[in-house]
Structure 1
Amino acid sequence: MDTIKNYLETLFLELPKTEAVEKAKADLLANMEDHYFSLIDEGKSEHEAIGAVISEFGSVDELRQTLEIEEEPEADFFEDEDELTLPIAEEEMLTFLAGRKQIALGLSLGIMFTILAVAAMILFSEVGETLGMSIFFIFVSIGVGLIIYYGMQFQKIDSPLHDRMISRNLVKKAQVLKGEYTKSFTIGLVLGICSCILSLVPLFIFSYAENLGAALLMAMISIGVFLICYSSIYYTGFDKFVESRFFVGDEDKLGPNARKEKYGNNAEKKYVIEKMYWPVIVVTYFIWSFVFGAWHISWVLLVAGGILWSGIEAVIKKV
């Protein structure tokens, strides 16, 4: 079902966010879901049903005609068509994803080394405490170095694409690549979670050697965390080309075009409201907690703040 919803979101990505369009999207999703379940009841497999549902519904051009919406030029959001405002090319997306994959590997290895540092310290401390601490600091140094270096690379690969338009064809290409990687992502996630869960087994198997059991536990956790982080960081890279019309980097700082797309009229003022909201909530939370000693109830403010923001966000997008 997520595939159908993602397809529909992409289909409506190029259409204006009006009340009529949103209603048409909701109606179309309901029809697609009904058709999907009817095909499942007929004995179709999940993939066959999804393929049939998607193929039987119209294109975005047909939706425009039905809703009587004129197509806007893709470059309307840009004042000057220089190399930093032109729509992102497929080659640029592939370069970004290749860089993202390398960053995912580097960061995951860094996290893995910091966890392995504990395993190495426990294991080699039996030989000598000095040796155990030395290996610990070596592993930590390698891990932290990798995390810092590859963490800085995010901005490097984001900058050339920042706030540039993602064309309809590029969205479709990104969806295909994401679909191809989904199986690997699922396998990596499952193996990573299993490794973390099964990390308790060495404690029972090597109950006669507690240090060895504890070291293996940390080693298995490091492997599990590596698999989860690597597959997740790379996988989320595809979403940057699927979920938004304009590219937004990992720092989540919306550019002028992305703000205009998200907020419409008076985008800058609405963006300021969003950026001020949570700092005010957090400051109020700490003042209430520290000054008035209301730790037992102040946490409610964070929960209420999240619920309230959903309503505020819906209002400022429509104004």
Structure 2
Amino acid sequence: MDAITSYIDHMFRSLPRTEEVGRAQRELQQMCEDRYQELRGEGASENEAVGRVITQFGNLDELADDLGIRREVDGVTTDDDAIDLSREEAEKFLRVRKRGSRFIAIGIVVILFGASQMIWFNASSGDADVNPLSVVFFFICVAIAVGFFITGGMTLSRYERFEKHTVRLDATSMRHYQDLRESEHGRYIASIVTGVITIILGFGFGAVSGILIEQWSGGSDLEWLAGFMPLIISFGVAVLILGGMRRGSLDRLTSEGDYDPEKRKENDLIGRIAGPYWMLALVIFLAWSFIGDAWERSWMVWPIAGVLFGLIAVTMDSWLGDRDKNRQRGRSQR
């Protein structure tokens, strides 16, 4: 029964949240439950009963007149621009997204490794000035990381059209990916927790290293320890990227999470802000590094910028949600 409820929720997800649509959804839910119980009583297995119910009641366009929501369905279901996806194509989409996320995660690790090696070079030379060789290696790491970013971006761009269109799967495939998304929920939470803890441990390792360097006699011999901080943080960020993009891929196929029709409007606005925001972060990083001669510290721009961007996204999410609620309240009052 949970599969039927999830499927009905998906069917009505793109419709306006009106009283009439809510009534129609409850009515269809009851019809499906009655038919399910009838099939079970006839000896059908649970999976068979669910499949037959979805086959019979799974087309909202055909049921719109009986449910009295033809206007609402026609208003949203101009789904001629929807992309019909087979199970094979959906699996290929997941593989491509996984490969793209790996390229991006590796790029992050490489670029922060470049920051780590600068600290190690300077610690080994014992010179207060930046070692020129470490700067050369840093830019080599940046070049390699950019190569991974470009490769990852081009890999992901193969399915860029999915961002502006609804993905439409057959009932069996939709149920499969909804179940898969649910079964991987624990793994997704674990990746978020692991990534965040690793980043916090990275900062903690850097803080402890700084205390040891300052307070211990001969602490300058321990300066190389600080070089592990960017590397540890890079692994945490990589885990977050891999886990988040896997979840995003399943959200895309099931139109849930960030790809819920209501949520997509918010993501479009956040996406328009993201480009200028990260360009500004890059300018700050380069200016601080070159003008302030702070290569050993300027890498901190990236985790700080990431946290700030997260706060901006959450704030916009809340603001847009309140705005939509006020609009709906205004329409209902009229």
Q: Displacement, 1:196?
A: 1.1
Per the alignment, residue 41 of structure 1 pairs with none
Q: Displacement, 1:90?
A: 0.5
Residues 1:242 and 2:239 are matched in the alignment: no
Q: Give 2:174's match in structure 1, choosing from 171, 195, 200.
A: 171
Q: Displacement, 1:130?
A: 1.9
CA distances 1:229-268 after superposition (whole Å, capped 9, x unpaired): 1111121110011126xxx7xxx9xxxxx8xxx8xxxxxx
Moved more, 224-233 or 308-317: 308-317
Aligned partners of 2:116 and 2:231 also within 8 Å:
yes
Per the alignment, residue 227 of structure 1 pairs with 239
Q: Which amino acid aligns with 1:148?
A: I
Q: Displacement, 1:312?
A: 6.7
TM-score (norm 2): 0.55
Do the aligned partners of residues 26 and 309 (structure 1) sit closer, same or farther apart at CA in structure 2, a change above 3 Å counting?
A: farther
Per the alignment, residue 94 of structure 2 pairs with 97
Per the alignment, residue 47 of structure 1 pairs with none
Q: Displacement, 1:160?
A: 7.6
Normalized per residue, the structure richer in helix is: 2
Dislocated runs of 4+, deviation >6 Å = 26-29, 62-65, 70-73, 301-305, 315-319
Q: Which amino acid aligns with 1:234?
A: R
Per the alignment, residue 19 of structure 1 pairs with 19
- CA distance in 2 between counterparts of 1:71 and 1:307 reads 25
Q: Give 1:204's match in structure 2, choosing from 185, 188, 208.
A: 208
Q: Which amino acid aligns with 1:155?
A: S
Residues 1:309 and 2:313 are matched in the alignment: no
Q: Displacement, 1:132?
A: 1.5
Aligned partners of 1:117 and 1:136 also within 8 Å:
yes
Per the alignment, residue 132 of structure 1 pairs with 134
Aligned partners of 1:121 and 1:132 also within 8 Å:
yes
Q: Which amino acid aligns with 2:174?
A: V
Do the aligned partners of residues 229 and 164 (structure 1) sit closer, same or farther apart at CA in structure 2, a change above 3 Å counting?
A: closer
Percentage identity across paired residues of the two chains: 17
- CA distance in 2 between counterparts of 1:22 and 1:201 reads 53
Per the alignment, residue 142 of structure 1 pairs with 144
Aligned partners of 1:10 and 1:243 also within 8 Å:
no
Moved more, 92-101 or 186-195: 186-195
Residues 1:182 and 2:185 are matched in the alignment: yes
TM-score (norm 1): 0.57
- CA distance in 2 between counterparts of 1:181 and 1:307 reads 27
Q: Displacement, 1:118?
A: 1.0
Per the alignment, residue 109 of structure 1 pairs with 106
- CA distance in 1 between counterparts of 2:189 and 2:196 reads 11
Instruction: Report the secondary structure of 2:10's partner residue.
Output: coil
Q: Which amino acid aligns with 1:22?
A: G
CA distances 1:38-77 after superposition (whole Å, capped 9, x unpaired): xxxxxxxxxxxxxxxxx99x96667989x9539999xx85
Q: Displacement, 1:137?
A: 1.2
Q: Structure 1 regions of 5+ residues with no counterpart? A: 30-54, 253-257, 263-270, 280-298
Aligned partners of 1:174 and 1:238 also within 8 Å:
yes
Aligned partners of 1:88 and 1:161 also within 8 Å:
no
Instruction: Report the secondary structure of 1:148's partner residue.
Output: helix
Aligned partners of 1:11 and 1:59 also within 8 Å:
no
Aligned partners of 1:121 and 1:133 also within 8 Å:
yes
Instruction: Report the secondary structure of 1:163's partner residue.
Output: coil
Aligned length: 239
- CA distance in 2 between counterparts of 1:316 and 1:165 reads 31
CA-atom RMSD, angstroms?
A: 4.8
Q: Give 1:216's match in structure 2, choosing from 216, 228, 233.
A: 228
- CA distance in 1 between counterparts of 2:223 and 2:229 reads 10
Q: Structure 2 regions of 5+ residues with no counterpart? A: 30-48, 126-130, 213-218, 274-311
Q: Give 1:122's match in structure 2, choosing from 112, 115, 119.
A: 119
